[in-house]
Amino acid sequence: MKFAHIADAHLGREQFNQPFRYEDYVKAFREAVERAVREGVDFILIPGDLFHVSRPSPKALRDAIEILELPRKKGIPVFAIEGNHDKTIRETSVFDLLEHLGLINLVGYLREPRSGEFQRSERKGSRYLVRGIFGDVEIYGLRHHSRWQLIRGETNVLKVLFRGRRGILMLHQAVDYLSKDTPYSDAVDLRLNELPDGFSYYALGHIHVRRLAEPSQTGLSGPIAYPGSPERTDVREASHIVTYLSKDGKPRIRENRDGAKGFYIVEDFQPEFVEIDARPFYYVRVEGNSKAELRRKVEEVASLIPKEAVAVFMLEGRVKGGISLAEFNDLLKGSGIRYYTFRSRVVGEAVSVEKVGEEELLNEWERELFLHLRVEPAEFSNSIDEFLEWLMESYGKKTEKKPDRQEKAAPKEEAGNKREVKREVKPAGKPSSLDAWLRRGKP
């Protein structure tokens, strides 16, 4: 039995607002799926963030359909759960659409039972536990949930839901043990010992760098694996890191340990990483003590960067009077580098930040907030429920009442808590900052 484990494709993302980056994400996912099909896998697992947003553009949807038709034509089933980026509380989501088209099989704790060739449903509380099935392998999963939804006081929803189950478990969460040295180290959803034991393979998504923990390390029954995203989503996943620091005097290039992009092919529950040829991504740290030094080094170091690459230049050092990034943009006009951007950590008064990337300026949560707010004003009323749901989740831990002991221990996603949001989150006065506004009245 052989399967592919592909996570966090983020189709539809147009990194740096560059259309060619949209194509890069599609290309990387296509390459992964094509490779899996070529390798003759029995099935494919997609544990979340197939799309970058829960309502992808028609173009992103078309591209996803086109790619998912490749395994379908070969009779290779695809099992999927939704991630934090593409989940929705709507009755009908884009995942339902893909399922209706016969392209994916959803697994999870769902409102409606499924009766596809590769699915089995059983009633559990008010919903259905839907599992995937291939031969004698069972594939369980649960879409992304916030920690407060999964760990409710003494009750661990995952352990209740999956007690005694065997096979594969798909989740879209950050597990602490594997989050070290990743952007998720401060935002873990689950501790290692909170994962339900008994599965032969834990197919995870959410962490965008490749991570693997063997049973000998964790004491669990199977490996826990994050393939990472097939394309680079952040400087921490850069293919190369270039440093040109004052003390060295010359630039140094090294490959980034976390720069490998790809997915897993898993045979008899043993994952083998398959690398994908993603676009080279250079993270260039240039240090200087004057604008002239920084400019000279940027020009010098630029010649080391391949033309097809994406490059993020981080300017560092202490410069009297500070620097303006606008004074650097002209420098590489003739360099031929596909896309480059400057960011600054230069210390000095009046640092101008005209062209700061979204990753640099906003934290993960703020980026997500803006994604939610980006819908057309005319459409906002339609998506207000989803927005409130998300907002409630983000702050749910603080607004949640003590869990009712009588309540069935299963993830609750709608109704109930919405009222609380309206009560808790409404601004009481002039907001000092978004965050303060949202947190208003909470410790």
User: Could you report how far apart the first and last alpha carbons of the chain are, in Å?
Assistant: 51
State in angstroms the smallest separation of the CB of 246 from Mn ion: 36
Q: How far apart are CA 120 and CA 116, in angstroms?
A: 8
The answer to whether residue 85 is catalytic is yes
Q: How far is the CB of 202 from Mn ion (least distance, A)?
A: 17
227 vs 396, which CB is nearer to Mn ion?
227
Q: Which residues on neighbouring strands pair with residue 9, listed in sequence order?
A: none
Catalytic residue among 5, 85, 145, 240: 85
Query: In the bound complex, what is the minimum distance in angstroms from residue 205's beta carbon to Mn ion?
Result: 6
Is there binding between residue 86 and Mn ion (CB under 5 A)? no
Residue 8 or 24 having the CB closest to Mn ion: 8
Binding mask 39-78 for Mn ion (x = CB under 5 A): ----------x-----------------------------
Residue whose CB is nearest to Mn ion in the complex, by number:
49
Angle, helices 377-399 vs 418-425, to 10°: value is: 90
State which residue, 16 or 118, has the beta carbon closest to Mn ion.
16
C-alpha span between 219 and 241 (Å, rounded): 35
CB of 371 to Mn ion, least distance (A): 12
In the complex, least distance from residue 271 CB atom to Mn ion, rounded to whole angstroms: 19
Whole-angstrom distance, CA of residue 81 vs CA of residue 287: 44
Taking contact as CB under 5 A, which single stretch among the options 6-14, 58-66, 262-270, 362-370 is the one that binds Mn ion?
6-14
Residue nearer to Mn ion on the CB measure, 8 or 424: 8
- Nearest residue (CB) to Mn ion, 8 versus 231: 8
Residues 6+ apart with CB under 8 A from 163: 196
Residue 48 C-beta: closest distance to Mn ion, Å: 7
Our measurement of the distance from residue 404's CA atom to the centroid of its chain's CA atoms, rounded to an integer in Å, reads 32
Stretch that binds Mn ion, among 4-12, 38-46, 53-61, 242-250 (CB under 5 A): 4-12
Nearer Cβ to Mn ion (127/211):
211
Nearer to Mn ion, 49 or 231 (CB): 49
Residue 9 CB, nearest distance to Mn ion (Å)? 9
* Interacting residue with Mn ion among 3, 4, 8, 131 (CB under 5 A): 8
Q: Which residues are catalytic?
A: 85
The contact set with Mn ion (CB under 5 A) reads 8, 49
